[in-house]
Structure 1
Amino acid sequence: MGGRGGPGERSTRGEQDRPGSPFRHRNFSWYFTGQLLSNTGIWFQNLALQLVVLNATGSAQALSGITIAQFLPIFLLGIPAGRLLDRVAPRTVLMVTSVASAVATAALVSVVTEDPELWTLYGLVGVLGTVQAFERVAAQTIIFELVGPGGLSQAASVSTIALAAARSVGPALAGLAFQGLGPGPCLLINAGAYLLVFATRCLIRPATLHPRTLPEHDAGHSGTADQRTRRAGPGDPAGPASGLLRRDPDVTTLLVVNVVVSLLAMNFGLVLTSTVDLSYGGDAAAVGAVHTLNAVGAVAGGVLAARRVRVNVRSLIPATAVFGTALALNAAAPTLPLFLAAAPVLGIGLGYYQGIVNAAAQESVPPRFLGRMMSWMTLGSYGMVPFGALAMGWVIDASSGRVALTVSAVSALACTVLILLRTRAGQTARG
């Protein structure tokens, strides 16, 4: 964990814990810069691999193999990663994973040929996915240490803007790089980006990080969660953190919604790319354009989410409703120009949903359990992606990308109804 510092520093932290822009914290600014670089660079890798496989096979299911190899390790290792992050400093884990990611990405250069050996490619992507299982949990767990409890919701929402902002430039740059340079240089660009990410993480000062082991009367989180944790008791074989996740209905609802949406509505790398390429006959530039337009909207959606100082599970009701409606609008687009025109609307819904769900997860448990909670969220957000890719790949091959988007819209709107029913029942029980 981060160091505690002296009395004067604790006083400064008390002032910084008040809500405000997370960029007031130097450590958060370096973290955000690193995330922006990382999420931009990954587009060079993802687009190159997607187009190499599509050009060689013409199959959405073959393309889904990349997604499965990339995210299946997160499903398998997400929970162990969370346990590790409750014991090891997230900054240390992030520094190790950035270097390991650079090495694994560079190794992919040798297999991206016109006729790639798919199983070798899948295997190397799986190695990178194993590293990313720890990277993604650590990147979420460190947010509390960067800003403290007072600015947690806003920092969690703002952190999603790095993802959206990277998507606003990454796909377009990657599409141009792929057409002008080919897949190998695209992968080397991403490897270089990981080394820059390592440099930004070295600049995060451990002495000014906020410790996550806080007194039980911490005003930043309600005592209800602590009470539920204590009721789980040390005799709970799964441990107090697992007891908390099982016993808190809001946490359960949040985790269920995260899994459903991630499984059926978040496979944009597969669904949007396949829809443009296979349904509309678009080229690499069109693929980059649809992801870029989507990301521009996501930045706006993330900014809207970051305006909320505090969030809870009920905040997900408008978030899932807007997201589902935007998915339905994109599914209804009959031509590529209209699909491109609708892409920013989908981005707004996506950015707002991601900002709210991440903030709600950060606020839902005491700080000392953030490693476990964020591992469950990462398991839902990314661990379900392989299964969603299989399902969406089958739907696209059997029908079209527009049908896959319709399935996504229905799942998001169904989650809106679920949250309404669950939170209303909880209010009735408490009343």
Structure 2
Amino acid sequence: MRWRGLSGVLSSQACTLSANRLLTVAVPWLVLDRTGSAAQTGLVVACQVLPYAFTQWLAGPLLDRIGPRRISATGDITSASVLVIPALFGTPPLWLLTLMLLVVGCADGPASAAKRLLVPFAAADAGQSTVRGVGLATAVERTATAAGTAMAGWLVATLGGDRALWVAAAMLGVATLIVTMTVTDPVRDRGRDDESYFDRLRTGTAFLRAHSPLRALTAMFVVTNLLDQALMAVLLPVWARAGGHDATVVGLALSTVGLASIASALASAGFGARLPRRATYLIGVLSSGPTRIIVLALGLPPEAVIAVYALAGIGSGLFNPLLETIQVELIPAALRGRVQTLITAWAWAGIPVGGLVGAVLLNFGGLTTALWLCGLAYLAAVLRPAWKMDWSLPVTPAPAAPLTITLAPVAVRRRVPAQRR
């Protein structure tokens, strides 16, 4: 019974993430099949993706006040209800499909944030460390990305885009049922009676603004996500074509990253709490970040690139659970909804312009110059938190009671050696 809540959260995440991966394949295929227009396809897909981070941030005060369990269930059942429209009323027109996906995007953001918030609480109820719970959640995410996308292709090919939406709706319905039956809400922050929604939103913003280590992590997320998008959308495909390689090399490199990250995330769940934090961070970010770009700039053969990408996957699965754990430790439990969703919103801010940045660098400097500039910028971004944070001193969360707009710095205490991570 101790593992019931954690197993429920992880199972619900698996269903939701698989449904999302199914939509990423089914929706573009459905719109292209119906219209033949790449522009309309991009517009419909954007309507689902763009609200994701913004609605997470807006839901932050509600996550802290109402509780993540209810938000998760409400978001998933809303998305499921919208996606069954084709089953009930037939193939929708394009405008209705666009509206459906806009609602799904708005509901999915808060629901995903809610499950993320539930992981550390469920891990504690199971008697497990935060890093173990987060490591398992990371492994579930990477597995859903790899297996869910493959399943999506098979379903669209065999059932068609419309019926694939039904399968996604069924997965989201199962996710709602699992959370409702297995997960309990953590103790919620009721706040002051006179505290408005916008007051609570400003409280989260003030906490992040006053917290230098979290600001350093957030800045790193913004820059690295932008550069990752530049690599994925522009630089990696151009490198492959310039070298006379086909899309198989790109697909193999990316799948290698995914599979390796699953294994290392499971390893992090097993013994990540015993690893030295600064060394784990540096090894993880240096192997998974700038090396993926610099290996392309060096003009190495595809075999070497795939080997480096395998190492990148291992590093990614190690340091992502660590950074998630550190956020849990640095943010008081009563503020996590507001602060973590704000960090996510900032982290997504660079993604829409990443492809544009890659294209601009490519046009002005050529492929090699663009790769070196992105690789060096990535290196600078990931090194900054290494000296901005005191990795040797885990931070004990501040008590939830004295929450005001004016926030004192988080207290730092040295733990006994047996608990040091």
Indicate yes or no: 2:22 matched with 1:47: no
In the TM superposition, what is the alpha-carbon distance from 1:161 to its structure 2 partner?
1.1
Task: Provide closer, same or farther for how the CA distance between residues 83 and 266 of structure 1 changes in structure 2, counting only shifts above 3 A.
Answer: farther
Where in structure 2 are the equivalents of 1:314-333 lying within 5 Å? Answer: 316-328=281-293, 331=296
**In the alignment, which of 340, 345, 357 is matched to residue 374 of structure 1?**
340
**In the alignment, which of 34, 38, 47 is matched to residue 16 of structure 2?**
38
For residues 1-53 of structure 1, the C-alpha deviation after alignment (integer angstroms, 9 at most, x for no partner) is xxxxxxxxxxxxxxxxxxxxxx9521001110111122223222112334566
Q: Percent identity?
A: 19
For residues 232-274 of structure 1, the C-alpha deviation after alignment (integer angstroms, 9 at most, x for no partner) is xxxx997544333222211111111122222331588856996
**In the alignment, which of 78, 90, 104 is matched to residue 128 of structure 1?**
104
In the TM superposition, what is the alpha-carbon distance from 1:344 to its structure 2 partner?
3.7
Q: Corresponding residue for 1:417?
A: 383
Amino acid at match of 2:20: I
In the TM superposition, what is the alpha-carbon distance from 1:69 to its structure 2 partner?
2.6
For 2:159 and 2:257, locate their aligned partners in 1 and report how far apart those are by CA, in whole Å.
25
**In the alignment, which of 242, 245, 248 is matched to residue 208 of structure 2?**
245
Indicate yes or no: 2:236 matched with 1:262: no
Task: Provide closer, same or farther for how the CA distance between residues 75 and 36 of structure 1 changes in structure 2, counting only shifts above 3 A.
Answer: closer
SS, match of residue 182 in structure 2? coil
Where in structure 2 are the equivalents of 1:21-36 lying within 5 Å? Answer: 25-36=3-14
In the TM superposition, what is the alpha-carbon distance from 1:316 to its structure 2 partner?
3.5
In the TM superposition, what is the alpha-carbon distance from 1:170 to its structure 2 partner?
1.6
SS, match of residue 211 in structure 1? coil
For residues 369-408 of structure 1, the C-alpha deviation after alignment (integer angstroms, 9 at most, x for no partner) is 1112221232134454334355557779999999987776
For 1:298 and 1:349, locate their aligned partners in 2 and report how far apart those are by CA, in whole Å.
7
For residues 122-158 of structure 1, the C-alpha deviation after alignment (integer angstroms, 9 at most, x for no partner) is 5443221111221122122222331239622321232
Amino acid at match of 2:124: G
For 1:401 and 1:98, locate their aligned partners in 2 and report how far apart those are by CA, in whole Å.
42
For residues 260-290 of structure 1, the C-alpha deviation after alignment (integer angstroms, 9 at most, x for no partner) is 222331588856996799885548xx98766
SS, match of residue 308 in structure 1? helix
Higher relative contact order (CA 8 A, sep 6+): 1
**Conserved in 2, the CA contact under 8 Å of 1:172 and 1:292?**
no
Task: Provide closer, same or farther for how the CA distance between residues 350 and 389 of structure 1 changes in structure 2, counting only shifts above 3 A.
Answer: farther
Where in structure 2 are the equivalents of 1:138-149 lying within 5 Å? Answer: 138-148=114-124
In the TM superposition, what is the alpha-carbon distance from 1:77 to its structure 2 partner?
2.6
**Conserved in 2, the CA contact under 8 Å of 1:43 and 1:170?**
yes
For 1:129 and 1:79, locate their aligned partners in 2 and report how far apart those are by CA, in whole Å.
13
Amino acid at match of 1:28: L
Indicate yes or no: 2:272 matched with 1:308: yes
Comparing 412-421 and 248-257, the one that deviates more: 412-421
Indicate yes or no: 2:148 matched with 1:183: no
For 2:250 and 2:28, locate their aligned partners in 1 and report how far apart those are by CA, in whole Å.
11
Amino acid at match of 1:250: P
Indicate yes or no: 2:194 matched with 1:196: no
Task: Provide closer, same or farther for how the CA distance between residues 75 and 98 of structure 1 changes in structure 2, counting only shifts above 3 A.
Answer: closer
**Conserved in 1, the CA contact under 8 Å of 2:65 and 2:189?**
no
Task: Provide closer, same or farther for how the CA distance between residues 100 and 373 of structure 1 changes in structure 2, counting only shifts above 3 A.
Answer: same
Q: Which runs of 5+ in 1 are unaligned?
A: 1-22, 215-235
Amino acid at match of 2:328: Q
Q: Corresponding residue for 1:159?
A: 137
For residues 174-203 of structure 1, the C-alpha deviation after alignment (integer angstroms, 9 at most, x for no partner) is 233333443333322222211121121122
For 1:271 and 1:27, locate their aligned partners in 2 and report how far apart those are by CA, in whole Å.
41
In the TM superposition, what is the alpha-carbon distance from 1:299 to its structure 2 partner?
0.4
Task: Provide closer, same or farther for how the CA distance between residues 296 and 189 of structure 1 changes in structure 2, counting only shifts above 3 A.
Answer: same
Q: Corresponding residue for 1:4?
A: none
SS, match of residue 309 in structure 1? helix
For 1:43 and 1:103, locate their aligned partners in 2 and report how far apart those are by CA, in whole Å.
18
Indicate yes or no: 2:147 matched with 1:169: yes
**Conserved in 2, the CA contact under 8 Å of 1:318 and 1:416?**
no
Task: Provide closer, same or farther for how the CA distance between residues 298 and 195 of structure 1 changes in structure 2, counting only shifts above 3 A.
Answer: same
Corresponding pairs, count: 376
**Conserved in 2, the CA contact under 8 Å of 1:175 and 1:287?**
no
Amino acid at match of 2:108: Q
Amino acid at match of 1:303: L
Task: Provide closer, same or farther for how the CA distance between residues 264 and 64 of structure 1 changes in structure 2, counting only shifts above 3 A.
Answer: farther
For 2:370 and 2:40, locate their aligned partners in 1 and report how far apart those are by CA, in whole Å.
17
TM-score scaled by length of structure 1: 0.70
Amino acid at match of 1:309: A
In the TM superposition, what is the alpha-carbon distance from 1:354 to its structure 2 partner?
2.5
For 1:186 and 1:407, locate their aligned partners in 2 and report how far apart those are by CA, in whole Å.
41
CA RMSD of aligned residues (A): 4.5
Q: Which runs of 5+ in 2 are unaligned?
A: 191-198, 394-411, 413-421
**Conserved in 2, the CA contact under 8 Å of 1:271 and 1:404?**
no
For 2:104 and 2:370, locate their aligned partners in 1 and report how far apart those are by CA, in whole Å.
27
